[in-house]
Amino acid sequence: MILHTLTALLLVLPALVTAAIFPPDTKVKMLDPKGFKRVMKNNRTSVVAFVAPWCGHCKQMAPEYSKAAGNLNPMVPFYAVDCDAEANKPLCATQEIQGFPTVKVFPRGGQLPGQKYESGERTSNNLIKWASRSVPNKIKASPNHDDIPEWLEKNIDLPRVILLNRDKKFPLLWQVLGNNYHKKIAFGHHSDPEGKFAASLGFTAREEGRFSKVIVYPAGSSVPILYEGGNKYEPLSKYFRSIVDGTADFLKASTEPPAKDEL
Ligand SMILES: *[C@@H]1O[C@H](CO)[C@@H](O)[C@H](O)[C@H]1NC(C)=O
């Protein structure tokens, strides 16, 4: 009996050791070579830590890395590769991992070369700042609303989305989405603290506690649509995906034949 328990324990031990460097509720996902390939195929900014379970600096970094992962979740996914695992060794070799931990950011999946973290102490704050800075900025900021019509016209072949908010800057969320949908949707930003530009488009209704507006122009169209879903990563991503794959409600409405009269 004891022997059985011991054997069972020994069998699960390697897995436990691997997982143990990150806290149990971590947003850091472990990657194998297949998983890494998937991450390289999407075009998102992703962070990957190459670690070994026995490495002291890895253990020291793990809670900070995990905290950064939680802070940037779901905008910038954080991953880890256990380079001690036999199956991962070729991957760690092609990534030229020479010391542990090596943290890399891939600004656009496999489309742009990965960059090593070299910004000092690996604290969560430093990691967050570094990862945020690494997101390519594809947002066309138009401080002056007179510039917007020209931008809309120039990108008429694409769906275009403009964030109107109260701030001079756009949030990281918008920058992340602009990178994720680069070349598929054109992203703009305009600071509209008094809602003047929104009003000029006919969007005046203001909901309590909800100021930011996302205005959408379908490809080829100059008629603005007000997005009415949630202003978070998941609902916005779902909506943009539906625009790209052609299933968005407003797209269906324009391509479906008019309903026949039933009377
Ligand atoms: C990633 O970007 C490339 C080049 O812009 C594009 O061809 C590809 O479809 C994109 N992949 C995804 C999953 O969006």
217 neighbors 223 (Cβ within 8 angstroms): yes
**What stretches of the chain adopt beta strand conformation (E)?**
29-30, 46-51, 78-82, 102-110, 115-116, 139-141, 160-165, 186-191, 213-217, 225-226
Report the atom number in ligand 1 closest to the C-alpha of 180: 14
Q: What is the pLDDT of residues 43-64, one digit of tens each?
A: 999 999 999 999 999 999 999 9
The response to whether residue 179 sits with its C-beta less than 6 Å from ligand 1 reads no
Query: CATH classification of 139-245 is 3.40.30.10, yes or no?
Result: yes
| Domain boundaries defined on the chain | 2-133, 139-245
Q: Do 2-133 and 139-245 show the same overall fold?
A: yes
Report the atom number in ligand 1 closest to the C-alpha of 182: 5
The response to whether residue 43 sits with its C-beta less than 6 Å from ligand 1 reads yes
71 neighbors 131 (Cβ within 8 angstroms): no
Residues 6+ apart with CB under 8 A from 88: 32, 33, 81, 82
**In the predicted model, is pLDDT for residue 194 greater than 60?**
yes
**In the predicted model, is pLDDT for residue 209 greater than 70?**
no
pLDDT tier for residue 207 given thresholds of 50, 70 and 90: low
State which of 106, 183, 245 you would mutate to test the pocket of ligand 1, scoring each by most atoms of that ligand within 8 A of its C-beta.
183
The confidence score (pLDDT) of residue 260 equals 59
53 neighbors 17 (Cβ within 8 angstroms): yes
The DSSP call for residue 146 is: G
Rounded CA-CA distance 97/51 in Å is: 9
Distance (angstroms) between ligand 1 centre and the Cα of 24 equals: 33
> Residue 59, Cα to own-chain centre: how many angstroms?
26
Nearest to 138 by CA among 178, 171, 98: 178
Q: Nearest C-alpha to atom 10 of ligand 1 is from which residue?
A: 43
Residues 6+ apart with CB under 8 A from 85: 18, 32
pTM (global) more than 0.85 = yes
Q: What is the pLDDT of residues 222-234, one digit of tens each?
A: 999 999 999 999 9
The response to whether residue 231 sits with its C-beta less than 6 Å from ligand 1 reads no
Rounded CA-CA distance 242/143 in Å is: 29
The DSSP call for residue 225 is: E
Distance (angstroms) between ligand 1 centre and the Cα of 232 equals: 22
**In the predicted model, is pLDDT for residue 138 greater than 70?**
yes
Q: Nearest C-alpha to atom 2 of ligand 1 is from which residue?
A: 43
Rounded CA-CA distance 71/27 in Å is: 9
The CATH number of the structural domain formed by 2-133 is: 3.40.30.10
Report the atom number in ligand 1 closest to the C-alpha of 43: 1
Report the atom number in ligand 1 closest to the C-alpha of 42: 13
